[in-house]
Amino acid sequence: MRRVLPLAAGLLALLPATAAADCDAARSLRTGPTDGGLYATIAPFEHFSTARTQVFPHTCGGAGPVRARVAPGDYRTPYIATTRERGQLYLYGYGPDPAAEGAYVASVNPRTLRERWRTRIRDTSPVPGWSYPGVMAVHGNGRLYAVYASVIVKLDPRTGRTLARRELPEDPDGTGAAYNGLIVMPDGRIATKRIERGPCPAAGIPPTYPSTVGAFVGLTCAGQNALPTPVVVLEPGRLRIVSVTRPPEPITGRITTAGRYVYAAGRDTLFRFRYRRGRLALDRGWGPVVYRRGGERPGTGPGVMGGFVVVQTNFLPSAAPLTLTAVSVRDSRRVFRIRPFEGAPASWVVSKAALDAANRTVVTHDTSAHRMAALRLDPRRGFRVRWSRPLTSLAFSALVGRPRGRQIVIPDLGPDGDRVLWLDERSGRVRARSRPLATQSAPGNIVTPGFGGRFYYPSWDGRLWELTPH
């Protein structure tokens, strides 16, 4: 039996029982490869799993003061961090000019926060892509995979050496393509979706957020042009293309997988594909379900919460309020809708809702409405607002801790800058907050949990912060 020092025992006695249990869960996590899907670790992917719940189960909550330290490296336009083994942390970022800079994956020592190696991903296709963030994931086979513009790579996690690289299909007569994200299927194959930008006048982005212009003007143009968005499936070894499937509608947000289904939010409807042996086929027995009406703009990526798939509108700026839609995965005729920020003069949210199946709770926010809300989703009665509070953020919410003490971790942009908050999921009350870390909110990022109760915040100004709430 492990011997506990008296001082440590005294400190544990001062913590709530749920906090101590949460930390025990993190310490007891057995990391390592899996037969398919993602690596067993604290944070192998931007939303923990490719069902995109944003629930990180092997984590601790936070309370009280937050210790902050910053990595010494320059991580211009950082996007997400991931973990692998306890001594391994990786950061993915992208530059403003894909032809010249491309994206990068950097290995950071979590003890010293110094960089171990950095690998650049350059787009060498005849038609340069545009700087919209792809994503990085730690595959169940232990390798790192990252996609940027029209390139996907497989990297050695120890050295950063490129083990495989694939130029993905794009329109040779177009103006540049981006593959915005990837998912890993249960059999280990990888699926990624293309967005063709098309003609692109610089318009449509609120002037409050100038740092997003490079990526999100392109996204606005892609949404307006509504060019085809094929889904490409690759095998994880040499990144050989297994299949290419054209969806019934253009897809703006990321795609999502749960079991043998892949879900997508098209221009107007939510639909899904059946997946079998590397190939996708439209599921004609489910949907399509209309989720966008009137002046609302197309939706973010969907997420799967127990027996429902959930999506929200206004991935692009809109004068219409955000609508949240939940559809039964068993019967697409069972649909619930709610406008949690009814009356807001404008709406825009590049992130998606976080989904806590254990507590039947959906957490969402609207950047332009400057509000956050937690909603109860009853499988028979639909949505009910549990609480609402002020919040201004371009980031995703991370849900951490055990269900009984679940917390929301998200940056909040205030008059003095961007702070990271730890909020009680049941009440919305602040349990911990960092000092101001940046002058502006970073678009579409997520505060990534790590080992030892640490969290990693990639800031708008190119700095990687380690945050430890006490």
Residue 3 pLDDT greater than 70, yes or no = no
pLDDT, tens digit (0-9, with 9 covering 90-100), for 224-256: 888 889 999 999 999 999 999 999 999 989 999
The Cα–Cα gap between 191 and 251 comes to: 14
Residue 341 pLDDT greater than 90, yes or no = yes
70 domain residue, yes or no: yes
| Confidence grade of residue 222 (pLDDT, cut at 50, 70, 90) | confident
Q: Are 38 and 145 in contact (CB under 8 A)?
A: no
Residue 203 pLDDT greater than 70, yes or no = no
Residue 380 pLDDT greater than 70, yes or no = yes
The Cα–Cα gap between 184 and 129 comes to: 23
Q: Which domain holds residue 98?
A: 18-469
Residue 467 pLDDT greater than 60, yes or no = yes
pLDDT at 19 (0 to 100): 45
The Cα–Cα gap between 276 and 249 comes to: 21
The Cα–Cα gap between 94 and 81 comes to: 13
Q: What average pLDDT does this structure show over 121-138?
A: 86
The Cα–Cα gap between 277 and 256 comes to: 17
| Residue 8 CB partners (closer than 8 Å, separation 6+) | none
Q: In the chain, what percentage of residues exceed pLDDT 70?
A: 91
Residue 51 identity: A
Residue 5 pLDDT greater than 70, yes or no = no
The Cα–Cα gap between 432 and 374 comes to: 18
* Tokens at 88, concatenated: 């391994």
| Confidence grade of residue 202 (pLDDT, cut at 50, 70, 90) | low
Residue 266 pLDDT greater than 50, yes or no = yes
pLDDT at 214 (0 to 100): 60
- What's the CA angle centered on 270, arms 264 and 271, to 5 degrees? 70
DSSP state of 442: P
Which position has the higher pLDDT, 198 or 187? 187
* Tokens at 65, concatenated: 């003061």
Residue 312 pLDDT greater than 90, yes or no = yes
Which position has the higher pLDDT, 20 or 173? 173
* Tokens at 146, concatenated: 């990252």
The Cα–Cα gap between 2 and 332 comes to: 52
Please report which helix (H) or strand (E) contains residue 139, including its range. none
Mean pLDDT of the chain: 90
Residue 24 pLDDT greater than 90, yes or no = no
- CA within 13 Å, CB half, 146: 31
309 domain residue, yes or no: yes
CA max distance for the chain: 70
Report the candidate in 106, 107, 102, 105 with the shortest Cα–Cα distance to residue 88. 107
Residue 374 pLDDT greater than 50, yes or no = yes
pLDDT at 23 (0 to 100): 67
| Confidence grade of residue 196 (pLDDT, cut at 50, 70, 90) | confident
Residue 20 pLDDT greater than 80, yes or no = no
Report the candidate in 73, 38, 223 with the shortest Cα–Cα distance to residue 143. 38
Pairing of strands 430-433, 417-424: antiparallel
- CA within 13 Å, CB half, 408: 31
pLDDT at 268 (0 to 100): 95
CATH of the domain at 329: 2.130.10.10
pLDDT, tens digit (0-9, with 9 covering 90-100), for 343-371: 999 999 999 999 999 999 999 999 999 99
Q: What average pLDDT does this structure show over 379-401?
A: 97
Per mean pLDDT, which range of 204-218, 315-329, 443-457 is the poorest? 204-218
Residue 211 pLDDT greater than 70, yes or no = no
370 domain residue, yes or no: yes
Which position has the higher pLDDT, 327 or 128? 327
11 domain residue, yes or no: no
222 domain residue, yes or no: yes
97 domain residue, yes or no: yes
Residue 175 pLDDT greater than 90, yes or no = no
The Cα–Cα gap between 311 and 301 comes to: 7
Q: Are 84 and 138 in contact (CB under 8 A)?
A: yes
Residue 272 pLDDT greater than 50, yes or no = yes
Number of domains in the chain: 1
Q: What average pLDDT does this structure show over 245-270?
A: 95
5 domain residue, yes or no: no
236 domain residue, yes or no: yes
DSSP state of 438: B
Residue 18 pLDDT greater than 80, yes or no = no
